[in-house]
Structure 1
Amino acid sequence: MSHSVPSPQPLAFTMGDACGIGPEILAKLWAAESPQGLVIGCPAVMARAVVTVGQTGGFAVQQRPHVVALSNPDDWRSLTTGQMGVWAPPGLPSDLIDAPLGRVDRRAGLAAAACIRAAVSLAQDGGVAGIVTAPLHKEALAEAGEPYPGHTELLQAEGAPPGQPPAPVRMMLMNDQLKTVLVTIHVSLRQAIEQVTFEAVLETIEITHRSALQWGLKQPRIAVAGLNPHAGEGGLFGDEELRIIGPAIEAARRAGIQAMGPLAPDTVFMRARHAPPEHPGEFDVVVAMYHDQGLIPVKYMGLDHGVNVTLGLPFVRTSPDHGTAFDLAGTGRADPSSLIQAMRMAQVLISGQGSGG
């Protein structure tokens, strides 16, 4: 992925679940990259994370970031190299620091949602150039009374202009070799199959095409996976490809989109994998029908460099492709590589300089 020219506005990094590894990988990111940005979260939690990482050898003493509590987000402009500006948004529980590490806690869910809402508001007002989200925990979000199963749905709802319905969005998981966009996400497999409709498949292809143009691809090659084994084998193993997916692809092609398929899901990801010069990918991105179909191939290549991108939002949002890793929380051993890649991808998307592959 290419680097980009600095934006006049900062990136907003949301802290994620305070009981997980989000604060610690943010501390490591700041030590390694000293990014142009601010953390939306709890200054006390972030200060604890910096101490934890420092005590466990996560960074050298001279790299240790200094946490600065910001009175308002604009104060990031006065920060100097080595300082991490942390702004506590409205709705942050006052006793968040007491939430135990490595466990689901309602306070952490409340805080994570408050940070997201504040980041979206800043993005909508032009106060930040984009959002990079550290992992939150879906159970904590539910315990906090949030009606959204995850980041994507919360961002979609909060990103809608006042009085207008939320824009359709899609989840893309990517690394340097493979990009996958999902038709359905956080629902049961049975519900996912029911949600694979002509409209949903076509809309996913269209959103993918528009986003790929923004990355800098002039003629995006979009592979569309089938739902059934062998893409239905002509109707022998299911007819969704004949009734739904194939017609949606044809509609996209009539609109000038280079979409291909339905293709056998057990081989399409290998065909799309782009690892030159030995293995140039046949496709730029794969549209998958449901969560695990699309995410297992990307995650199998390794979690360290995967990035989650929400397509269709009116602002840039990326995140690492792993979760809160409660088993690592408080150890200082969590790997920040995926978060660093998420930051770099956000910079690329903001600048409009796509990686082209």
Structure 2
Amino acid sequence: MAAARPLGLTMGEPAGIGGDIALAAWAGRALRPVPPFVLLDDPNRLAALADRLGLSVPIRVVGEGELAAVPDLFDQALPVLPVQLSVPVVAGKPDPANGASVIAAIDRAVELTRAGLLAGVVTNPIQKSALYATGFRWPGHTEYLAHLAGLPDDGTVMLLEGGGLRVVLATIHLALKDVAMALTADAICHVARVTHAALIRDFGIEAPRLAVAALNPHAGEGGAMGREEMEIITPAIARLQAEGIAASGPFPADTLFHAGARAHYDAVVCMYHDQGLIPLKTLDFDTGVNVTLGLPFVRTSPDHGTALSLAGTGKASASSLIAALHRAGAIAARRDGGLHV
């Protein structure tokens, strides 16, 4: 059996809370253990940030050739694979001049994971507005990671979990007014198929049950409040059932997320972003995790943003990041045949 490999944690937006929560996760590992990880970041800014936060975090700079030793040295120091920033960081104030470094950290983590040197990628949140100023053309992390994997933007699936709920999204970063026009039976089937396979492979669920949400109130009320259920969603469910996937619905979203309903499915296929994220974040705002399904490598992320107002204050919670590290470690272990990372 191969030796355990560390996870790769990217810096995210350096003016956000990524550094804060990465340092806090390592510093608090005695109370809340985390899988060994290497942080792709600027070691000088991390040392200064640790001092500012009052955290005792010794930094150990490592090279690519030392990644196999990270699990052994993790208890003594925070391993950092250097990614230099272009300009000094001001907490809470993103600077597009550092955008290239943010992207470089993602690129390198993916490259090292695909080369087998890292077990998976955990991404700290990015500030997309700052990256757009540098010419970044993808709507977000998920689409960019699909690009790095050679997949189309819609080739992956965003799964979010927390509070005993898992949701996946048939459409993601769209204005609400555009959702109905973008929704297709093919898209619903693609999301459901990828989710079904991932629940078996990465989550250990032998026979996944998928609930499919309606788009309109009361599931369209027989066409009185919209025909998408009749013309798009129900035919998609029929196709999935014919393939042997345990999909059911469409269910009105207002009755789909209470405790009794959640006992009858393993994940919900939601029609748009907020339909899934509002109930999930209501149930578990602090430890939600974003998992990208369909990639040829493991990727998770905390389910929150850059929280610029909290950067450098010591008030940001590392709970979601810790949950994301554990989920990435668990998926990597399953793919490695049970090896713990």
Aligned residue for 1:269, secondary structure, equals coil
Separation in structure 1 between the aligned mates of residue 146 and residue 48 of structure 2, nearest angstrom:
31
1:208 is the counterpart of 2:190:
no
Alpha-carbon displacement from aligned partner over 1:224-252 (angstroms, at most 9, x marks no partner): 00111111111111001111111111100
Separation in structure 2 between the aligned mates of residue 84 and residue 127 of structure 1, nearest angstrom:
17
1:153 is the counterpart of 2:153:
no
CA contact (8 A) 1:271 1:283 kept: no
1:250 is the counterpart of 2:213:
no
1:82 is the counterpart of 2:76:
yes
Aligned residue for 1:247, secondary structure, equals helix
CA contact (8 A) 1:272 1:283 kept: no
CA contact (8 A) 1:16 1:136 kept: yes
Aligned residue for 1:346, secondary structure, equals helix
Separation in structure 2 between the aligned mates of residue 244 and residue 128 of structure 1, nearest angstrom:
41
1:348 is the counterpart of 2:340:
no
Aligned residue for 1:352, secondary structure, equals helix
Alpha-carbon displacement from aligned partner over 1:272-291 (angstroms, at most 9, x marks no partner): 765xxxxxx11111010110
Which AA in structure 1 matches 2:59?
A: V
Alpha-carbon displacement from aligned partner over 1:207-237 (angstroms, at most 9, x marks no partner): 1100111211111110000111111111111
CA contact (8 A) 1:73 1:87 kept: no
Aligned residue for 1:146, secondary structure, equals coil
Q: What is the match of residue 224 of structure 1?
A: 212
1:24 is the counterpart of 2:20:
yes
Q: What is the match of residue 12 of structure 1?
A: 8
Count of residue pairs the alignment pairs up:
329
Alpha-carbon displacement from aligned partner over 1:128-172 (angstroms, at most 9, x marks no partner): 111111111111121121111211111111122xxx757711111
Separation in structure 1 between the aligned mates of residue 20 and residue 85 of structure 2, nearest angstrom:
20
TM-score of the pair, normalised by structure 2: 0.91
Q: What is the match of residue 140 of structure 1?
A: 130
Separation in structure 1 between the aligned mates of residue 317 and residue 235 of structure 2, nearest angstrom:
43
Change (3 A) 1:189 1:102: same
Alpha-carbon displacement from aligned partner over 1:55-99 (angstroms, at most 9, x marks no partner): xxxx5xxxx22112223363461635231111124xx4432xx13
1:268 is the counterpart of 2:256:
yes
RMSD: 2.2
Change (3 A) 1:193 1:301: same
Which AA in structure 2 matches 1:24?
A: D
User: 1:31 deviation in Å?
Assistant: 1.2
CA contact (8 A) 1:232 1:240 kept: yes
TM-score of the pair, normalised by structure 1: 0.87
> What are structure 1's unaligned runs of at least 5 residues?
275-280
Aligned residue for 2:314, secondary structure, equals coil
1:117 is the counterpart of 2:104:
no
Separation in structure 1 between the aligned mates of residue 198 and residue 164 of structure 2, nearest angstrom:
17
User: 1:24 deviation in Å?
Assistant: 0.6
Separation in structure 1 between the aligned mates of residue 261 and residue 124 of structure 2, nearest angstrom:
27
Aligned residue for 2:310, secondary structure, equals coil
